[in-house]
Amino acid sequence: MIHPTAIVADGARLGADVRIGPYSIVGSNVTLGDRVELVSHAVVEGNTTIGPGTRIFPFASIGHEPQDLKFHGENSRLEIGANCTIRESVTINPGTENGGMVTRIGNNCLIMANAHVAHDAILGNNVIMANYVGVAGHVQVGDNVIFGGTCVIHQFTRIGAHAFIGAQSMVDGDVIPYGMAVGNRATLTGLNLIGLKRRGFEREAIHRLRAAYRQIFASEGTLRERVEDAAEIFSQDALVQDVVRFIADAQDRPILLPRNGHETE
């Protein structure tokens, strides 16, 4: 169903049972999957693909050119997955030539009102962004990450899977998988134990992860040495190996550390 006041440009591709509400605008290079709904006053432009079942609420601006002075009109993309909820006044920009040409958001994400996802950011599945969260360019976010309200994430930062970012945090370093970061500037404050338990991780696996965390962020030796030791001691543990690989792959931003080098939960 397309409301009479909506504008759908020639060339736009619409799946089955798409609903485009009052005063919404859909650009000519947009693809809307089955059952996508633009509630009202939403604008979807650019080379944008939106997966089935996603709902976009009023005054969201999806797919307009990036807020990047290095952008010169290149044919970059924005890809949004299935069954996402994008609330009022959210802004999401496509990629740039300097960042891989694509911004990508996974399936089943909830992006609350007034949040922003910048160019070339990659978000995994089941990500929750509370109100006024700002994700800068080139940020990578793993699956099942939760952001509290008014967080700001520095460009090129990585947030590992199952991490939790506390409200009003300014994050300028990589957050390990399963970690919890809070503060301005944010520090690592422990593991996201509540999230791990809610998602059904086994008690023994959580205990091993806590033991590895204490070893990795102890005060003796260098971080590299402690990570190598943890990799060897917990060589058969999948969760610990996730953390080890994440730290080993650090490139653009430093790994976020506990303020005093120890777990504070």
Report the candidate in 36, 32, 43 with the shortest Cα–Cα distance to residue 6. Answer: 43
- Number of structural domains, the chain? 2
Both 133 and 13 in one domain: the answer is yes
Both 49 and 127 in one domain: the answer is yes
Structural domain ending residue among the three candidates 138, 155, 181: 138
Cα–Cα dist 159/97, whole Å: 23
CATH code: domain of residue 241: 1.20.1180
Cα–Cα dist 206/209, whole Å: 5
Name the token pair of 19.
């609903």
96 within some domain: yes
Both 26 and 131 in one domain: the answer is yes
Both 134 and 11 in one domain: the answer is yes
Both 129 and 226 in one domain: the answer is no
The model carries a pTM of: 0.94
pLDDT in tens, 98-149: 899 999 999 999 999 999 999 999 999 999 999 999 999 999 999 999 999 9
160 within some domain: no
Both 32 and 103 in one domain: the answer is yes
Cα–Cα dist 18/38, whole Å: 8
Both 134 and 16 in one domain: the answer is yes
Quote the domain boundaries for residue 108.
7-138
Catalytic residues: 119-120, 137
Both 52 and 126 in one domain: the answer is yes
Prior bond of 185 cis (ω within 30°): yes
3-class SS of residue 78 = strand
CATH code: domain of residue 13: 2.160.10.10
Both 121 and 50 in one domain: the answer is yes
pLDDT in tens, 161-208: 999 999 999 999 999 999 999 999 999 999 999 999 999 999 999 999
Name the token pair of 129.
């962004």
243 within some domain: yes
Both 124 and 216 in one domain: the answer is no
> Over the range 81-91, which residues count as b (16 or more CB within 10 Å of their CB) and which as e?
bbbbbbbbbbb
259 within some domain: no
User: DSSP of 125-190, one letter per residue?
Assistant: TT-EE-TT-EE-TT-EE-TT-EE-TT-EE-TT-EE-TT-EE-TT-EE-SBB-TTEEEEEBTEEEEE
Structural domain ending residue among the three candidates 138, 170, 188: 138
pLDDT at 259: 83
Structural domain ending residue among the three candidates 138, 170, 186: 138
13 within some domain: yes
Cβ neighbours of residue 228 under 8 Å, at least 6 residues apart?
Answer: none
Sequence-distant contacts of 153-158: CB under 8 A, at least 24 apart: 154/253, 155/118, 156/252, 156/253, 157/252, 157/253, 158/246, 158/250, 158/253
- Grade residue 219 by pLDDT with cuts at 50, 70 and 90: confident
39 within some domain: yes
Both 81 and 202 in one domain: the answer is no
Both 132 and 243 in one domain: the answer is no
pLDDT at 256: 96
Q: From the CA atom positions of the chain, what is the Rg in Å? A: 20
42 within some domain: yes
Residues forming beta bridges with residue 85, ordered by sequence position? 55, 110
Mean pLDDT of the chain: 96
